[in-house]
Structure 1
Amino acid sequence: YHLFIGGHLSSDPGRPLRADAAGLRSLDEATLARVFQVSDDNPLEGLAGRARLLRSLGEAISAHPDLFGRDPARPGGLADAARARAPGGVLAAHDLLAMVLEGLSSIWPGRVTHEGVNLGDVWVYSALGPGETERLVPLHKLSQWLTYSLVEPLEDAGLRVERLDELTGLAEYRNGGLFLDGGVLELRDPAAASQPHEPGSPLIVEWRALTVALLDRLAEPLAHERGQAVDAFPLGNMLEGGTWAAGRELASRLRDGTPPLTIVSDGTVF
Structure 2
Amino acid sequence: MSIDVAGTTVLVTGASAGLGAEFARRFAERGADLVLVARRADRLEQLADELRGAHGVTVTVLPADLAVTGAATRLRDELTERGIRVGSLVNNAGFGTHGDFASADLGRLGSEIQLNVNSLVDMTHTFMSDLLDGGGALVNVASTAAFQPTPGMAVYGATKAFVLSFTEALWAEARGTRLTVLAVCPGATRTEFFDVVGTEDAAVGRMQTAQQVVATTFRALDRRSSPPSVVSGFANWVTSLSTRLATRRLGVMASARLLGDVRLRASVDR
Same fold (TM over 0.5): no
Higher helix share: 1
Structure number with the higher strand fraction is 2
Which is greater in Rg? 1
Give the structure-1-normalised TM-score.
0.29
